[in-house]
């Protein structure tokens, strides 16, 4: 039984408070202590009565995932390796920019989707993360780096396919976006998927939801199926139809992630096809030059190619930004998260 209070919603805490014979506002205080005040010690929640705290402590604890290792990159990014209660590892990345900080959080230990360019794929799916484990990454990094919530953007883009752990990801999202919870703006939270049409439609029905990013990476079914096995089940036409139906709010755009790989998807013909494919969508495009990883034959694109690709998109009136792979030297860049486990090509922590 999970006895961790972290990850419980206000409704969960209200039920729990009721069970313990407390008045409803006590649950709200507890909720705010956890998510708003980042207070993870019952003893320090002095706005709650001693007897309530003691009864809580008899049945529950508050645990953040353990920081197993921190690797700082020369460009300021920092990768955190977390050990979960049952010994599984997940990684999260802290990415500072001039005007904001982005935390890239994992939603599964490992991943079942098998994308060719991704190191996490080689682990296979180990297990789903609970909402508390997803939020725990946020709060553990916030504590380690002394972050203020207002300055933080969150992307569910670390290890795992978030739409395949839908309920836990949505619970974590709702707490992060709740004004009484973490109180991040929902516009600052993005869910990135490898392209599952059912999940995209389901997310589109949510009254309150994050932004959506699609990891597209190819312009023909042939090349996309080679890079991303998910495309064999849900080819481009089906994926793009789900994207076109996704109900955007005013001013909102989808984000299209496109990892550029030399000679595979970085030609002018690819750029032109991409322009055509994306016509029906309101979107912006992130171009991410591929980072070579040991044991994978894919190559990083030439700089001139990246620039030419971007120029074509911009000429077609797209916002197309080249995202430098942050933290490449610590293997924290896109597709490189592979929590140090035997067989992943990295050394397990001592
Ligand atoms: S890129 Fe994302 S969806 Fe694809 S295997 Fe890696 S973690 Fe999974």
pLDDT given at position 293: 80
Atom of ligand 1 nearest to the CA of 119: 6
Count of residues making up the chain:
350
Q: State both tokens at 344.
A: 């992943």
Q: Which residues of the chain have pLDDT under 50?
A: 342-350
Which of 118, 160, 190, 218 gets mutated to test ligand 1 (max ligand atoms within 8 A of its CB)? 118
Token match 């203020």: residue? Answer: 148
Q: Which long-range contacts (CB under 8 A, 24 or more apart) does 173-176 make?
A: 173/209, 173/210, 174/9, 174/208, 175/7, 175/9, 175/35, 175/131, 175/135, 176/135, 176/138
**Predicted local distance difference test score (pLDDT) of residue 340:** 58
Q: What is the pLDDT of residue 350?
A: 36
CA 131 to chain CA mean position, Å: 13
Sign of the torsion formed by the C-alpha atoms of 34, 40, 44 and 50: positive
In the chain, % helix, strand, coil (3-state, to 5) comes to 40, 20, 45
Going edge to edge, which strands form the sheet with 89-96? 66-72, 78-83, 89-96, 101-105, 152-156, 189-193, 211-215, 254-260, 283-289, 320-322
Pocket test for ligand 1, best of 122, 124, 335 (most atoms within 8 A of CB): 335
Contact of 141 with 95, CB cutoff 8 Å: no
Query: For residue 119, what pLDDT is reported?
Result: 86
Question: Crossing angle, helix 236-245 and helix 268-278, to 10 degrees?
Answer: 40
CB atoms within 10 A of CB 320: 22
Going by their DSSP bridges, the two strands 283-289 and 254-260 should be labelled as parallel
Q: For this structure, is 39 an active site residue?
A: no
CA gap 271, 286 in Å, rounded: 13
Report pTM.
0.94
Q: Report whether residue 230 contacts ligand 1, using a CB cutoff of 6 Å.
A: no
The reply to whether 334 belongs to the active site is yes
pLDDT score for 343: 41
Q: What is the pLDDT of residue 349?
A: 39
Buried b (16+ CB within 10 A) or exposed e, 185-196: ebebbbbbbbbb
Where does residue 208 rank: exposed (0-12), middle (13-18), buried (19+ CB within 10 A)? Answer: exposed
CA of 115 to the centre of ligand 1 (A): 5
| Ligand 1 near 159 CB (within 6 A) | yes
Sign of torsion over alpha carbons 259, 260, 266, 272: positive
Considering 22, 78, 91, 161, which one is annotated as catalytic? 91
* Axis crossing angle, helix 131-145 with helix 166-177, rounded to the nearest 10: 40
pLDDT at 338: 74
Nearest atom in ligand 1 to the alpha carbon of residue 192 is: 2
């Amino acid at each position: 039984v999970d006895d961790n209070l972290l990850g419980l919603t206000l409704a969960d805490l209200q039920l729990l408070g009721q069970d313990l014979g407390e008045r409803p506002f006590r649950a709200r205080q507890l909720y705010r202590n956890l998510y708003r005040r980042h207070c993870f010690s019952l003893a320090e929640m002095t706005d709650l009565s001693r007897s309530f705290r003691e009864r809580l402590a008899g049945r529950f604890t508050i645990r953040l995932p353990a920081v197993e290792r921190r690797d700082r990159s020369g460009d300021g990014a920092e990768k955190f390796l977390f050990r979960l209660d049952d010994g599984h590892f997940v990684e999260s990345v802290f990415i500072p920019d001039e005007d904001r900080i982005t935390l890239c959080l994992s939603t599964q230990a490992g991943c079942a989707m098998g994308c060719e360019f991704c190191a996490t794929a080689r682990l296979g799916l180990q297990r789903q993360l609970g909402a508390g484990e997803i939020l725990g990454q946020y709060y553990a990094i916030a504590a380690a780096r002394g972050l203020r919530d207002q300055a933080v953007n969150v992307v569910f883009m670390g290890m795992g396919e978030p739409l395949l752990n839908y309920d836990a990801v949505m619970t974590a999202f709702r707490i992060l976006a709740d004004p009484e919870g973490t109180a991040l703006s929902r516009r600052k939270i993005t869910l990135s998927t490898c392209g599952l049409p059912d999940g995209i439609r389901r997310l589109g029905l949510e009254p309150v939801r994050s932004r959506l990013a699609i990891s597209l990476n190819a312009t023909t079914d042939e090349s996309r199926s080679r890079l991303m096995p998910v495309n064999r089940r849900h080819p481009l036409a089906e994926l793009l139809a789900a994207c076109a139906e996704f109900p955007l709010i005013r001013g909102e755009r989808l984000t299209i992630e496109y990892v550029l790989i030399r000679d595979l998807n970085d030609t002018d013909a690819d750029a032109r096809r991409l322009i055509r494919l994306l016509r029906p969508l309101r979107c912006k495009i992130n171009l991410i030059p591929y980072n070579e990883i040991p044991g994978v034959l894919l190559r990083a694109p030439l700089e001139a190619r990246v620039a030419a690709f971007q120029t074509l998109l911009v000429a077609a009136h797209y916002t197309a930004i080249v995202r430098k792979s942050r933290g490449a030297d610590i293997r924290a860049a896109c597709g490189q998260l592979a929590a140090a486990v035997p067989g992943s090509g990295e050394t397990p922590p001592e």
